[in-house]
Amino acid sequence: MSSRDFVYVHNLNRFLGRVAILVALGAMVELARPLAWSVVLLASVYVLFSLLSAAGYLHAWLRYPGLPKSLLDQETENFPPSARPENFRWNRAKKEQSPFGWEDQKPSEPATGELLKSLWEALQNSQWDKALVWAEKLVHARPEDAFGYAAMAWSLNQLGRHREALQPAQKACELAPEDPIGHAALAWAWGGTGRFDLALEPARKVASLRQQEALAWEMLVWILGNLGQYSEAANAARQALRLRPGWPTAHYNLGLALLKTGDWEGAWEQCETLQKLDPQLAQQLMTELKHANRDWGF
């Protein structure tokens, strides 16, 4: 029996429970049973519904031994529904990563060599406040250097100041249209302000310029998912995983994209994989599965 069967069983349980309750209420009104018999009838319906639900969950535990009970029983009322687009994630560049070519930026001119070196080190160490200061100084010293604007926009994005990042990111793209850093900063800035429609073009540009960069594909997944283009988002997530196998964020986004396209089997497989890589993300994907089951079921 496949994972899809569990979804059907769970939906059937809820449907039968609702039908049984309606029948019981109708019988009480129609037959005017005494109060004691009404209580007994309702209790019987509740017990029957509980047994059916227990059977469905028992099947899930047997079918998916890698998923702990907490994932199946997890309370979901405090989580946002799966229809909310911001549930797609983008794993911002971490300290150990060199996103889109920071390593290509080397001090070249004596007048700004130390300045550029300080900026480069701040970026590599994820010291975004310091990086912003050095980037502003570099822009002042070399106003025609795209890297200073790109670094400024990237640092502002990392600090959550997405609207402020738009202008330097656009300037970086204008000065260096084939440099992925500026386009990535622009895509992130538009996405951070909720304008994923405007973020799509620069994100595609980054993916075309850095086809072997997993982070570029994952940024594209984030934007496509928020635009509701789930099939393309799933393909981009597969590209990210091909370049960086075992990346939890990519597995999560792939599972969510597959869920949105109705591929329950594929979404469950990603959830099982995530349980081994990142149990917290596995719980969140399981929550999305349960919400989708509730939204699409009876």
Q: What angle do CA 159, 274, 98 make, to 5 degrees?
A: 40
d(CA 28, CA 164): 64
DSSP single-letter state for residue 102: G
What's the pLDDT tens digit per position in 260-284? 999 989 999 999 999 999 999 999 9
| Spans of all domains in the chain | 3-63, 85-296
d(CA 75, CA 92): 29
* Cβ proximity of 138 and 119 under 8 Å: yes
d(CA 249, CA 237): 9
CATH architecture of the domain with residue range 85-296 = Alpha Horseshoe (1.25)
What's the pLDDT tens digit per position in 112-165? 578 888 998 898 888 999 999 999 999 999 999 899 999 999 999 999 999 999
Given a cut of 60, whether residue 96 has pLDDT beyond it is: no
d(CA 195, CA 165): 13
d(CA 253, CA 259): 10
Given a cut of 70, whether residue 16 has pLDDT beyond it is: no
